Every structure is written in C-alpha cells, then in structure tokens.
Amino acid sequence: MIEDILKNKKIKLTTARVSLLKIFQERKKPLSYEDIKDSITMDKATFYRNMATFEQAGLFNIFSSSSNIRYFELKHTPHAHFICSKCNKIECIKNVDITIEGHKIQTITIGGICKECIE
C-alpha cells in the first residue's frame, strides 16, 4: 500500500505524493514529467521536488536521455535502459550482464536508434 511505503521511508504523506506513486505503479515504466503532466494536479517545481525526495529515500531511479529529458522509475531489480535518440522511446532491458571488477553496477543507459525508427 502506498501509504505504508511512505510511512516506512519516513516521507510525509501528501495527496501529491500518493498520486505520483500510483501513476508510477500503474504504468510500470520510466516516465518523464512530460509523460504525466496531464495526469497530475501539481506544477513542475512541485513534481521535481517530490521526485528528489523519492530519490533520496531510495524509492526511484532517475536518469537522463541524450536530449536531456529526465526519466523517473520506481526502483526494483537493477536493469538497463535503451533510449532511442530519434523518438525518445525507452525500453527496459532485463538481461544485460556487464561486470566491472571492483564495482557494483545498478543501472545502465544505452542510446541508439530503435527498430521502428530504423525502418
């Protein structure tokens, strides 16, 4: 339950935070502000403040595309992301096995052109 998640992370329960978590739980993919701005009732600054709070609490991963669009995703099993440089579509890639001796890799972002944009 969302309220329990916020309580366990010692994050103040607000309507805005509950609505953001619901959106990310329902859509189950990385989203930018532009992807959800029509689904929320807060301004851009409030959105980014809440996302920073979530990231600091360890609830979200935040990464940027090559066009500097910031994406947010609920943390779960570490995995890679492919971001198309033409359409900005993001794909989660589950089976990437990259190791660097002495390092613990948590996220990888790969840029390129997706199948649809190549054709």
Q: pLDDT digits over 57-83, tens only?
A: 989 888 887 778 888 988 876 778 888
Domains present along the chain, CATH in parentheses: 2-118 (1.10.10.10)
1 or 117, higher pLDDT = 117
Instruction: Supply the pLDDT for residue 5.
Output: 85
Q: Where are the alpha helices (DSSP H) in 2-107?
A: 2-8, 15-27, 33-36, 44-56
3-state secondary structure of 84: strand
pLDDT for 22 beyond 80:
yes
Residue 90: the pLDDT is 85
Q: With helix as H, strand as E and coil as C, how does 88-113 read?
A: CCEEEECCCCCCCCCCCCCEEEEEEC
pTM score of the predicted model: 0.73
Per-residue model confidence (pLDDT) at position 54: 93
By DSSP bridging, strand 70-74 and strand 31-32 are antiparallel
